[in-house]
Each structure stands twice: as structure tokens, then as C-alpha cells.
Amino acid sequence: KIVPSEALSRVQPSATLAVTQKARELKAAGVDVIGLGAGEPDFDTPDHIKDAAIAAIRANKTRYTAVDGIPELKAAITAKFKRENGLDYGLDQVTVAPGGKPILFNAFTATLNPGDEVVIPAPYWVSYPDMVKLAGGTPVIAPAKVENGFKLTPADLDAAINPKTKWFVFNSPSNPTGAGYTPEEIKALTEVLLRHPHVMVMTDDMYEHIVYDGFTVKTVAQVEPRLYERTLTTNGVSKAFSMTGWRIGYAGGPKDLIKAMGKVISQTTSNACSISQWAAVAALEGPMDFLKARNDAFRARRDRMLADIAEADGLHAVTPNGAFYIFVDCSEAIGRTAPHGKRLETDIEFCDALLEAEGVAVVPGTAFGSAPAFRLSYATDDDALIEAGQRIRRFCAGLS
């Protein structure tokens, strides 16, 4: 019998798994299930990126590389940070790992000691708290209120910081809410951080390029250059370039931190896939014009889903600025009874009942530290979304 480590024992099994597993079982049993749980674009990787990968294979760029990235990719990353974010990072200030996830985990592993705290605004992306726990630290959840558009206020941040705080994790546009912070809102948070010089900032800009209605992302060190030395600016190609399977994430930050993260990589994953790294060079250096049509499609889907939610009895949502999720408040549905006779006590039960009654799979807000709510992803084809919207409305109308 395997006895899990203490670190692993502190990690909760993902609440999303229950719904995903149930959806899989229902599908296998022949039920018509629409999955709105996925966190990836349904678009293909652009051809010029695929071609670069094929060329890399043909050129035998298939061996180990420098552990934290080939120089060509590092150069493309420094150019990207300069061009898009106004940030100057040297080649020794950027690092590459097999996805955004390992970038974040490497940074936590490289810096956290038992007792160190990491402030995470909720609703949060599911992995942040568990990564912190796995790396030996303690997550401190700072709830962002729905009336503030799910964005943390300076007072919320200030209340969560204490002498043990090591990191503040910042994610805009956010998974799961799609909320994007304006430069003014970021500036207000940085004022708090300037008063607490022992706190480092980990900004996760993964959804930087998936934005709507003219919203543009500014990153923390760009808004407040005095935080440059204390900020790890993380990003990746997964979402913007529809490259989730290629596994490339990257970050820019203080030299010492980047070096420490390289040490973690050298004894764990080693380099990210050599072929994917060459594909990422093509992504970062290539055209971005394909994004407009994709974002237009996402925005149309977002608006259609928002309209369905507005019409659904008891559901409410804040309009997202970016990413491809809607975080839906279902508090008015709690306490009502589903068609199969069960009283819905929690958002987990709401999501279970929605899946059972209508075959629509969404993830309960509990998994993101904010309940009762659910997250749906609209990175799915239009026909499925139209049908899902109808089913959600029918389900809510059927609650008594």
C-alpha cells in the first residue's frame, strides 16, 4: 500500500474531477453530453507554427537542449516582453518550461519554505493553491467580491498580507471569471505592494491575448516599474496560439529567481520539448493577425451565452473582459428542488443535477474557491453552445 507524502496529503482531490468523471460515464452510456468544462481553445494551432515544428524535426532538432530553453526562444521571449509589455529582460532573466503550469510550480518550489504564505485571490484558477501546498507553502485565499466584478480591491489585498507572505499571485484576465484589471486597478494594488517590500508578485498573463471589447492587458511590472525586481511575469503559448498540447510556458524576472528555477528544471523535467520550443519561436516571432477572427468568434459565443444566462431563472453573470469562461452565480437556485426530486444544497449538487437532467457538464465554483457558482467554458462549437444554452434555461425553469 502506498502511503502518500505529507505534501501530497495536503492536496485536495480536484472537485472538477467528479463532474468530469460523471460526464465521461454518461457519455460512455450513450447519453448526449455537452462538455463546457474544457480549458482550451477549440481552434487549431496555426499552420506557420506547425510548419516550424516539422522543419525542426527534419533538421534533427530533436536532442536535449539547454535546460531552461534554447537561446533562440529566449531571444524571442525577451523581444516579446519588450514589444508587447515594455519590459526589458536580459537573456539570463527568462526561462522556459513544459507549460505555464511548471513555470508557476518551479517558482514556488524554488522559493517556498514551510510557513511561507502565498496570497491567492478567489475565484482562483484551481491549480494555484494546490501547487503552493505541494511546494510546501500555505495558500491564503483573498476573496474578491462579485460586486467588484470579482476583482481584488487594495483593501482586500492589504488584509491578506502579513510578515509571512512570500508571494501575491495575480491573474488577469482571470480563469475562471474572465475579469481583467485596468491599469488603474493594477496601480492601486501595486501601491499596497510597495508598502510591503517583502512580498513578491507572480503575475500569470496566460490570457493576455484573448480579450474583448477593446480591453488591453497591462502587466504588473509595466504598470509599476518599481516592482520590476520583485515580479515574475509568467506567460505561455498554450491559449493565445492554441498550443495547449505542445507544452511551452515561459517567464521573465529577477536573475537570481530565474537561476533558481533553472536548478529545479535541471533536476526534474529537464528541457521542454525541443520541437515545441522551435514551434514557440515561430509563434512569438510570427503574425498575430489570426487572433482577431478567433477572438471575434469567442466574443460572439460569450455574448450568446451571457444572453442565455440572463434569461435563465436565478442565474447571474458578470461580463468577462477576456479568457473563454463565464463564472455564473447560482445562489438563487440553491434551496430549490431539481426535476428528479432532489433539493439542491450546494453548487456541486447543482452541477450534478444539471448534468444528470440535461447532460450539460460545468465545473462547480467550489473548485475555484467561490460558491455557489459554476464555471462554463465557451471554447466549444456554436451548435453545442446554442443547445447548451437552451438546456441550461430549461433546467433552471424546471427548478421548484
Residues of this chain that bind ligand PLP (CB under 6 A): 39, 99-101, 125, 171, 175, 204, 206, 236, 238, 244, 249
CB of 127 to ligand PLP, least distance (A): 7
- For residues 121 and 106, give the distance between their C-alpha atoms in angstroms, rounded to a whole number: 20
3-class secondary-structure state, position 269: coil
- For ligand PLP, the closer of residues 277 and 338 by Cβ is 277
Beta bridge partners of 337: 343
DSSP 144: P
Report the relative pairing of strands 94-97 and 363-364 from DSSP bridges: unpaired
- For ligand PLP, the closer of residues 15 and 399 by Cβ is 15
- For ligand PLP, the closer of residues 100 and 121 by Cβ is 100
- For ligand PLP, the closer of residues 70 and 379 by Cβ is 379
- For ligand PLP, the closer of residues 171 and 295 by Cβ is 171
- For ligand PLP, the closer of residues 46 and 236 by Cβ is 236
Q: Which amino acid, 21?
A: Q
3-class secondary-structure state, position 120: strand
- For ligand PLP, the closer of residues 69 and 389 by Cβ is 69
C-alpha cell at 162: 502579513
Structural Rg of the chain based on CA atoms: 21
CB of 353 to ligand PLP, least distance (A): 26
173: preceding bond cis by omega (within 30 degrees)? yes
In which residue are the cell numbers 492601486 written? 188
C-alpha cell at 175: 480563469
Report the relative pairing of strands 165-171 and 200-204 from DSSP bridges: parallel
Nearest to 222 by CA among 173, 251, 183, 249: 183
C-alpha cell at 239: 491559449
CB of 166 to ligand PLP, least distance (A): 19
CB of 103 to ligand PLP, least distance (A): 8
- For residues 358 and 388, give the distance between their C-alpha atoms in angstroms, rounded to a whole number: 9
3-class secondary-structure state, position 341: coil
CB of 150 to ligand PLP, least distance (A): 14
CB of 61 to ligand PLP, least distance (A): 21
CB of 342 to ligand PLP, least distance (A): 31
- For ligand PLP, the closer of residues 236 and 372 by Cβ is 236
CB of 360 to ligand PLP, least distance (A): 21
- In the complex, residue closest to ligand PLP by CB: 99
Residues 280 and 246 sit within 8 Å (Cβ to Cβ): yes
The count of other CB atoms within 10 Å of the CB of residue 353 is 22
3-class secondary-structure state, position 274: helix
